């Protein structure tokens, strides 16, 4: 019953926010702050999932903008968890196929996000060059899921190199964003689904990015994998301590 109620509430929430977002875009289409506004709305829906989200930002992050944000991508619940961490003045890069999802896809495009056709290499390269131009011209940051797809409990997948090319060409830094694992944590039939931690790591300056992109991608991936493991360990320790307190 709880799962059904949550599904209905989330469906209603998506409809309302999509309509409100489209109205916002009619007033100011492709505005630089649109994505930040709507992402904040979606982030609030974590409460409907029974999840508490803690966001930790290194103090140097905002001064490092514009930059390229790199975040791990786990499952469909990311829309209601990690979305709330997006900083205004940031747009995301997503698959072109998102555009064809009724209403949500049109909103995603109309907000000013960047759509990339991964099946067409020449168009993908052109899109990435467009991202470089937007960073330089509009002082926008871009948010990328470097795994290229949802990991679905398989751990942090290998990184694609597009985001690293963008950072190098735009001569901006990279900010890794790590979210604790949620693949087996969120159950729609469970009232309390615990805590999720999202941590912004210290920015990597443009001077630190002068390396072959595959080497750079491997280094950043290892850094993020270590942090995600730390966050998962922290949450397990907290859960164990709480359980011991209750049973004691």
Domain residue limits, the chain: 2-247
Confidence of residue 184 (pLDDT cuts 50, 70, 90): confident
Per-residue pLDDT for 178 more than 80?
Answer: yes
Confidence of residue 165 (pLDDT cuts 50, 70, 90): very high
Give the pLDDT confidence of 17-32 residue by residue, as tens digits: 999 999 999 999 999 9
User: In whole angstroms, what is the distance from residue 217 CA to residue 210 CA?
Assistant: 12
Q: What is the mean pLDDT of the chain?
A: 91
Name the CATH topology of 2-247. Answer: Glycerol-3-phosphate (1)-acyltransferase (3.40.1130)
pLDDT computed for residue 240 by the predictor = 60
Confidence of residue 34 (pLDDT cuts 50, 70, 90): very high
100 vs 110, residue with greater confidence: 110
Give the pLDDT confidence of 140-162 residue by residue, as tens digits: 999 999 998 889 888 899 999 99
Confidence of residue 42 (pLDDT cuts 50, 70, 90): very high
What percent of the chain stands above pLDDT 70? 93
pLDDT computed for residue 208 by the predictor = 93
Q: What is the pTM of this model?
A: 0.91
């Amino acid at each position: 019953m709880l799962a059904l109620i949550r599904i209905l509430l989330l469906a209603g929430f998506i409809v309302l926010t999509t309509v409100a977002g489209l109205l916002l875009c009619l007033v100011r289409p492709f505005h630089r702050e649109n994505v930040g506004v709507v992402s904040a709305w979606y982030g609030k829906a974590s409460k409907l999932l029974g999840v508490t989200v803690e966001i930790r930002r290194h103090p140097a992050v905002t001064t490092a903008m514009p930059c390229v944000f790199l975040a791990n991508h786990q499952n469909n619940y990311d829309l209601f968890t990690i979305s709330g961490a997006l900083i205004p003045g940031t747009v995301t890069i997503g698959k072109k196929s998102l555009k064809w999802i009724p209403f949500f896809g049109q909103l995603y495009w109309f907000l000013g996000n960047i759509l990339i056709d991964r099946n067409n290499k020449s168009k993908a390269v052109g899109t990435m060059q467009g991202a470089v131009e937007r960073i330089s011209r509009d002082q926008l940051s871009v948010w990328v899921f470097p795994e290229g797809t949802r990991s679905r409990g398989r751990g942090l997948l290998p990184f694609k190199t597009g985001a690293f090319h963008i950072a190098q060409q735009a001569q901006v830094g990279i900010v890794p964003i790590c979210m604790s694992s949620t693949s087996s944590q969120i159950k729609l039939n469970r009232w309390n689904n615990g805590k999720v931690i999202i941590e912004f790591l210290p920015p990597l300056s443009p001077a630190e990015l002068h390396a072959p992109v595959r080497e750079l991608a491997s280094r950043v991936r290892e850094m993020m994998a270590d942090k995600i493991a730390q966050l998962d360990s922290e949450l397990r320790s907290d859960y164990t301590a709480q359980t011991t307190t209750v049973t004691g």
